[in-house]
Amino acid sequence: MSSATFQLWRGSGADGKYTTYTTDYQEGMVVLDVIHKIQAEQAPNLAVRWNCKAGKCGSCSAEINGKPRLMCMTRMNEIPVESPVTIEPMRAFPWIRDLVTDVSWNYRVKKQIKKFKPRPPDNPDGTWSMSQEDVDRVQEFRKCIECFLCQDVCHVLREHNLHEEFVGPRFFVYVAALEMHPLDTENRLEELVTAKGIGYCNITKCCTKVCPENITITDNAIIPLKERVVDEYYDPLKRLFRMFRSK
């Protein structure tokens, strides 16, 4: 049995401050276990969002020692406990209470993205035929658990608060899954440039570093989308080629 001191961000409305708790923990415990222990023994009114405790629901996102992480997937032996461990809510979203933020902006953004629009069925029975290699690529994007840690760490949202002009890495992954789908016929490139603000991304790869599902967000989703945008809007030779091809 070991002991550690935690500084939890606590409060609501306009008032918040770090509150210090010291508690024991056992080998194998994760940060969320410790938070529950503090909640059970010292702070019964502590607000924390959680659900599966298995890294699949994406509910317990927080900032542990300044790093956006899932509390249920962060083992105590992974973090230094010599000095107090700080646990804060995600900073990119409106704060509600204690460790809980309002992530509903993400759901509103998702509704605005053009839906999947498949080509007419390939077969008389209304089904499609696809090669396995064609669908393999988008499978990676489907691993997303919508924990919004990538949104939280993205400096465009976190530091510059450009939520109205930039949808963030989570939704570039979502758009990539649709745009690269072998059956999809919808074109989302114009809205990527305008309403979704892909040009704001300056490829820091912070989103990739914090993804608990290890989705290669920047290299496999955002940069390929940026290249498609270049094809459509910034490459004069491609434009010329398209012009001649259409004649």
Partner 1 sequence: MSRAEAMKPRGFGQTQRRDLWWVEPLAILLGLSGYIVYATWAAFQGQFYHWGPYLSPFYSPEIFGDSPHSWFGPKPAWWPAWLLFSPAFLILWAPGGFRFTCYYYRGSYYKAFWADPPGCAVGEPRKSYWGERSFPLIIQNIHRYFLYVAVIFIFFLAIDVWKALWFTDVQTGVTSFGIGVGTLVLALNVIMLGGYTFGCHSMRHFSGGGKDQLSKATFGLKGYNCVSCLNRNHMRWAWGSLFWVAFTDVYVRLVAMGIWTDWRIF
Residues that bind partner 1 (CB under 8 A): 9, 11-17, 63, 65-68, 80, 83, 86, 88, 91, 95, 131, 133-134, 136-137, 153, 155-156, 158-162, 179-182, 184, 193, 197-206, 209-210, 218-219, 223-224, 226-228, 230-231, 234-235
CA distance 239 to 247: 13
Q: How far is the CB of 105 from partner 1 (least distance, A)?
A: 14
**With respect to partner 1, which residue has the nearer C-beta, 179 or 213?**
179
Give the nearest distance from C-beta 201 to partner 1 in angstroms.
7
Dist CA 147 CA 209 (whole Å): 14
Helical spans, DSSP H, in 9-62: 31-41
CA dihedral 233, 202, 78, 102 (to 10 degrees): -80
Between 56 and 91, CB nearer to partner 1: 91
CB of 28 to partner 1, least distance (A): 22
Calpha distance 50→2 (Å, rounded): 24
The CA angle 29-34-36, to the nearest 5 degrees, is 120
| Shortest distance in whole angstroms from residue 200 CB to partner 1 | 4
